[in-house]
Structure 1
Amino acid sequence: MDKVIVVEGISDKNRIAPLIAESVTILCTNGTVSATRLEELLLPFEGQDIIVLVDADKSGEKLRKLVKREFPEARHFYIDRSYKEVATTPLRILTDVLIAANVRVNNLLAEG
């Protein structure tokens, strides 16, 4: 099954993309989105494994709630609140989160 990872911004995408060792689509919502916009973004990926990895802040929580309502089949993964943003989370931690989400990772980068 194809995987889609939903992140908030381009810095989040740039942070996790090099860690991933399989073909995965990374979608940026570019901040908080409406239900309509979220549907436009995710509808083409319906039936795929939708993984949500957003910041541990207000806008991230808002987006998470919206995804839960519109796409209840999506799987949610969390970074520790102490890191606040996906973009500032240590690579080692992000690697663990990706592994937990059943995403193949590049082992060499995980050690850096």
Structure 2
Amino acid sequence: MIKEVIVVEGRDDTVAVKRAVDADTIETGGSAINETTLRKIALAMERRGVIIFTDPDHAGERIRKIVASRVPGCKHAFLNEADATKGDDIGVENASPEAIREALSRVRSEVPFEADGGQNLIDWEDLIAAGLIVHPEASARRRFMGERLGIGYCNGKQFHKRLAIFRISREEFTAALAQLENERGE
């Protein structure tokens, strides 16, 4: 059984998670997350810890940000968009048990940016040099890197922030970039 309580968006997500792993969940009710639910999540964080596992879309990202800002110290699991897509629908409920287990095996913990004096391991210039921003294929490249690093897909500014928050090392970044370049024949 997973020790932490997994925060998901809805009932179908709970069903999908329980098909994959033995875990307890808290459902946010979608993007209309309320104070009562946030209090439940805070209590779960105090008692057992929390893993935020929302859909890889705009609404899921919004919920992730709300929960993480109100309940500091949460862990995060990210599902690849391709693994969560069925037709036009994107969501945890569409993922296979294997994809869910893979995402939960790559849980990332937040480390406050100030904990190390605010030093980034990967700086903005590294992102430019890697073609992750200011590049014609920056979006596709960030998607690949986000999947390999287990931090999900996001825009350039958020990607830079996640690299810092999840303390992605230069070695991890370089290895994922080498995979990207190898697969693309660069």
* TM-score interval, smaller chain: 0.7 to 0.9
CA distance in structure 2 between the partners assigned to 1:54 and 1:34 by the alignment: 12
Task: State which of 94, 98, 104 in structure 1 corresponds to 2:104.
Answer: 98
1:60 aligns with 2:66: no
User: Number of aligned pairs?
Assistant: 100
**Corresponding residue for 2:145?**
none
What residue ranges of structure 1 are gaps of 5+ in the alignment? 102-112
Give the aligned residue type for 2:11: I
1:31 aligns with 2:37: no
1:7 aligns with 2:8: yes
Which of these two proteins has the greater Rg computed from alpha carbons?
A: 2
Bigger shift: residues 43-52 or 28-37:
28-37
Instruction: For residues 19-76 of structure 1, give each alpha carbon's deviation from its aligned partner in whole angstroms, at most 9, with x where no partner exists.
Output: 224xx32111110134624422213213222001110112101101101211120011
Normalized against structure 1, the TM-score is what? 0.76
**Corresponding residue for 2:42?**
43
RMSD between superposed Cα atoms in Å: 2.2
Q: Is residue 4–residue 50 contact of structure 1 (8 Å, CA) maintained in 2? A: yes
Instruction: For residues 66-97 of structure 1, give each alpha carbon's deviation from its aligned partner in whole angstroms, at most 9, with x where no partner exists.
Output: 01211120011111122231011122111111
More helix per residue: 2
CA distance in structure 1 between the partners assigned to 2:77 and 2:42 by the alignment: 20
Secondary structure of the 1:5 match is strand
CA distance in structure 2 between the partners assigned to 1:34 and 1:6 by the alignment: 11
What residue ranges of structure 2 are gaps of 5+ in the alignment? 85-89, 108-186
Q: Is residue 35–residue 70 contact of structure 1 (8 Å, CA) maintained in 2? A: no
Q: Is residue 35–residue 66 contact of structure 1 (8 Å, CA) maintained in 2? A: no
CA distance in structure 2 between the partners assigned to 1:44 and 1:71 by the alignment: 9
C-alpha change, 1:9 and 1:46, in structure 2 (3 Å) is: same
Report the identity percentage. Answer: 21
Normalized against structure 2, the TM-score is what? 0.48
Secondary structure of the 1:46 match is helix
Q: Is residue 51–residue 76 contact of structure 2 (8 Å, CA) maintained in 1? A: yes
Give the aligned residue type for 2:57: D
Q: Is residue 11–residue 27 contact of structure 2 (8 Å, CA) maintained in 1? A: yes
C-alpha change, 1:40 and 1:33, in structure 2 (3 Å) is: farther
More strand per residue: 1
CA distance in structure 1 between the partners assigned to 2:29 and 2:38 by the alignment: 14
Q: Is residue 20–residue 98 contact of structure 2 (8 Å, CA) maintained in 1? A: no
